[in-house]
Chain A
Amino acid sequence: MARAKKKITYEYSSDGIKQSILRQARSLKIAPGWAKQIADKVADSVDKWMADKDIVTENDLRKKIIKELESLSPDIAFAYKNHDKII
């Protein structure tokens, strides 16, 4: 009998998104001021996008963040998208 996958849910946090973007920016040596502006802009637009939703999947959230990042900093978007696809 196939085992059902365990579903994990956690609360959305705007700060968590900012921190993860700042972490990626630091590893790309992007100036801290510019990185903070990017993180704030992305977190704001994700907040707006989330406002009318009760629940979203991690994948959708990730796609939205990448979409926002692509216009602001393609390098951070690339790192965000690919950091778990290196090996």
Chain B
Amino acid sequence: MSDIVCIATIILAGITQASLQLGLGGLILLYHNSMGKHRRKKTRYLAKNYILGASAITFLMVCTLCFLIGNFFGGSLSVEWLVICIGIFAACGAIMWLFYYRRGKKSTELWLPKSFTRFIQKKARSTDDNIEAFSLGLLSNFAEMPFSLAIYFVVANCILNMSGQFQIIAALAYTAITIVPLMVLKLRVKTGKSTVEAQKWRIQNKAFSKVVSGSSFMLLAMFVLAFWVL
């Protein structure tokens, strides 16, 4: 497979993962709670560590799956595995359109188990040091795994199909794309905007983000089908 197709797949997969909302919601919660308690400098460090945690788990997951595919799948995913991934993408796309957000509420609550969201909220409220913020970033990204695991598999497969000298760069570039929404939020808060504005934007554009997420999953499914299976 040519490097161009691999790069395009990685970019599309990165955008798809970046459109997931749990990581962003976790960061807004962390910002909101921390700014009420701590000085700005401390809040900045906590946010930075949260983003670092989210990046670390993304990068490590991609590297781990590259290792697994390299050693147990003969260096590349077979067509059957790719078809399974395509099926998962299509299902995730439909879930995004229909069930991702709780219906009929003027909020951005996600369709997650209540106990789990309460746990993340409690953690975000009580996060006081950088290690806790780092692990909150890990946790919120890890919680998105039902949606992102298949994406990681496809990305790892693409990376293994690229030339050796670009593999690490591709893994880093993928990680960078996935944290773009978090970085944008960090920049907005740094330039004086409040978390309420960010949250209002999320509520107003809930339908739009639902369509973007769902469509990205569907596009990714079609892209992998067209360029990797057929």
A87 x B110 contact (CB < 8 A): yes
- Residue interface mask A70-87, B partner, CB < 8 A = 1: 000001001100111111
The answer to whether A62 has its CB under 8 Å from any CB of chain B is no
The answer to the question of B188 belonging to the interface, with a C-beta cut-off of 8 Å to chain A, is no
Q: In the complex, how many angstroms separate the beta carbon of A35 from the nearest chain B beta carbon? A: 11
Which residue in chain B gives the minimum CB-CB distance to A23?
Answer: B36
Q: Of B21-29, B67-75, B78-86, which binds chain A?
A: B21-29
Q: Is the CB of A27 within 8 A of B35?
A: yes
Q: Which of B1-52 contact A (CB under 8 A)?
A: 21-22, 25-26, 28-29, 31-37
Interface of B is mostly: helix
In angstroms, Cα B32 to Cα A75, docked, is 13
Asked whether any CB of chain B lies closer than 8 Å to the CB of A26, the reply is: yes
A50 within 8 A of B: no
- B contact residues around A26 at 8 Å (CB): 35-37
Check B108 against A75 for contact (C-beta < 8 Å): no
User: What residues on B are CB-neighbors of A86 within 8 Å?
Assistant: 25, 28-29, 32, 107-109, 121, 199
Question: Nearest Cβ distance between residue A63 and chain B, in whole angstroms?
Answer: 15
Which one of B35, B36, B112 has the greatest number of beta carbons of chain A within 10 Å? B36
Q: What are the residues of chain A within 8 A of B32 when measuring CB–CB?
A: 27, 79, 83, 86
Asked if A87 and B200 sit within 8 Å, CB to CB, the answer is no
Q: Do A27 and B117 have beta carbons less than 8 Å apart?
A: no
Not counting A79-B195, A87-B21, a sample of 11 additional A-B residue pairs whose C-beta atoms are within 8 angstroms of each other reads: A23-B37, A26-B37, A27-B34, A27-B36, A28-B194, A83-B29, A85-B107, A85-B108, A86-B108, A86-B109, A87-B108
- Residues in chain A near residue B110, CB distance under 8 A: 87
Any chain A CB within 8 A of the CB of B120? yes
Interface size on A, residues (CB 8 A): 15
Q: How large is the interface on B (under 10, 10 to 19, 20 to 34, 35 or more residues)?
A: 20 to 34
Q: Contact: A87 with B36, CB < 8 Å?
A: no
CA distance A71 to B105 in the complex (A): 23
CA A84 – CA B22 in complex, angstroms?
14
Identify which of residues 1-36 in chain A touch chain B, using a CB-to-CB cut-off of 8 Å. Answer: 23-24, 26-29
Closest chain A residue, CB of each to CB of B203: A82
Is A84 within 8 A of B121, CB to CB? yes
With CB as the reference atom, state the residue of chain B lying closest to A24.
B36
- Cβ-closest chain A residue relative to B198: A86
- Can you give 21 A-B contacts (C-beta < 8 A)? A24-B36, A26-B35, A26-B37, A27-B35, A27-B36, A28-B194, A28-B195, A29-B192, A29-B194, A75-B194, A75-B196, A79-B195, A79-B196, A83-B32, A85-B105, A86-B28, A86-B108, A87-B108, A87-B110, A87-B117, A87-B121
Partner of A78, one of B31, B36, B121, B196: B196
Task: Report the minimum CB–CB distance from B101 to chain A (whole Å).
Answer: 10
Question: Please, how many angstroms separate the alpha-carbon atoms of A46 and B40 in the complex?
Answer: 31
Complex contacts, B196 vs chain A, CB 8 Å: 28, 75, 78-79
